[in-house]
Amino acid sequence: PDTSMIQSDCRSLYDLQGVVCHSGSLNQGHYIGYVADYQVNAVTGELKQQWLRCDDEEVRIASEQEVLEAEAYILFYVQKSYIKSK
């Protein structure tokens, strides 16, 4: 691959956007997902994040601690920023 565009003095920051968890065996099991949901306060314009736990037909609010303690199978990130180091 062409690495000429890669600069060692740059780095990216990422936010966790989603988590997929699997329970069971290789042949069968069950998946649940956690997804970050963002809402803007109409008065203040402040961005608020909450986590949703999706399990079949049930969707409920989950705490950040619950998400961080989950046994993740797949993690999804979104690039937050790109910083050039000094």
Going by pLDDT thresholds of 50, 70 and 90, the confidence category of residue 85 is low
CA distances from 4 to 8, 79, 86 (A): 11, 21, 20
3-state secondary structure of 3: coil
| Token pair for 3 | 């690495």
pLDDT of 83 above 70: no
- How many Cβ atoms sit within 10 Å of the Cβ of residue 53? 19
Say which residues have a Cβ less than 8 Å from residue 57's Cβ, sequence separation at least 6.
none
Write the pLDDT tens digit of every residue in 48-66: 899 999 999 999 999 999 9
> What is this structure's pTM?
0.75
